[in-house]
A and B are shown apart, each in its own frame.
Chain A
Amino acid sequence: DTEVTQTPKHLVMGMTNKKSLKCEQHMGHRAMYWYKQKAKKPPELMFVYSYEKLSINESVPSRFSPECPNSSLLNLHLHALQPEDSALYLCASSQTGSTDTQYFGPGTRLTVL
């Protein structure tokens, strides 16, 4: 099974709301990633977790807060977002990082009003 699941599929939130995106994989992968993708653009890396520890933070604003509760789960907590944060948020996982293939989830389409 090479599936990465993400919930919810769509999310609409106001600028004062707090919400969370969830990502799950059961492939035994130890590296998990969050990407942001704007329309007609490639994915941009936000965070990397390796063995449940945050290893890369690509200077993402603090209104985005990642969490890795265990090796199968990755959350992205959202607070006080701006309309320009509206995008497709993609989660991916890989065996350990390095040369391993990243498997992507279907994404969460986020709209910030």
Chain B
Amino acid sequence: AQSVTQLDSQVPVFEEAPVELRCNYSSSVSVYLFWYVQYPNQGLQLLLKYLSGSTLVKGINGFEAEFNKSQTSFHLRKPSVHISDTAEYFCAVSPYSTLTFGKGTMLLVSP
């Protein structure tokens, strides 16, 4: 079985500041890792994914994440956030065909 922990339920940050959203996972098998974003009243949109290869993954909208196998982490970062980045962010793992989501982190960007 696998699980995902997003330690921060909410992260407030000022516009143009850097941000890191934390994600830790546990699994008895190799996993694939994903970050999805959900804007209010919308579906989920893929930000980035790690399947194999380089541990630093770049995604859309200036986001990136680093896979750290020894720490079983896949933290999401952005060097400078915008108001429009305000949304719910979900980390997910997938050993096979299904996704296991974390509880989500609400990123609140204020001017």
- A interface residue numbers (CB < 8 A to B): 4, 6, 31, 40-43, 45, 48, 50, 55-56, 90, 92, 94, 97-99, 101-107, 109
Is B90 in the interface zone, CB < 8 Å from A? yes
Contact of B43 among A40, A42, A107 (CB under 8 A): A107
Contact size range, B: 20 to 34
B43–A104 CB distance below 8 A: yes
A42–B42 CB distance below 8 A: no
Nearest to A103 among chain B residues (CB) is B46
When A and B form their complex, what is the total count of cross-chain residue pairs whose Cβ atoms lie within 8 Å? 50
B36, B94, B97: most-surrounded residue (chain A CB, <10 A): B97
A97–B97 CB distance below 8 A: yes
Report if A48-B98 is in contact (Cβ < 8 Å); known contacts: A41-B103, A42-B104, A99-B51: yes
Q: A83 CB to closest chain B CB, in angstroms?
A: 20
The residues of A that contact B49 with a CB separation of less than 8 Å are 101
Report if A106-B97 is in contact (Cβ < 8 Å); known contacts: A41-B103, A42-B104: no
Complex CA distance for A6 and B41, rounded to whole angstroms:
13
What would 28 A/B residue contacts be, using CB atoms closer than 8 Å? Answer: A31-B97, A40-B104, A41-B103, A42-B90, A42-B101, A43-B44, A43-B99, A43-B101, A45-B98, A45-B99, A48-B97, A48-B98, A50-B97, A55-B97, A56-B98, A90-B43, A97-B96, A97-B97, A99-B32, A101-B46, A101-B49, A103-B46, A104-B36, A104-B43, A104-B45, A105-B43, A107-B42, A107-B43
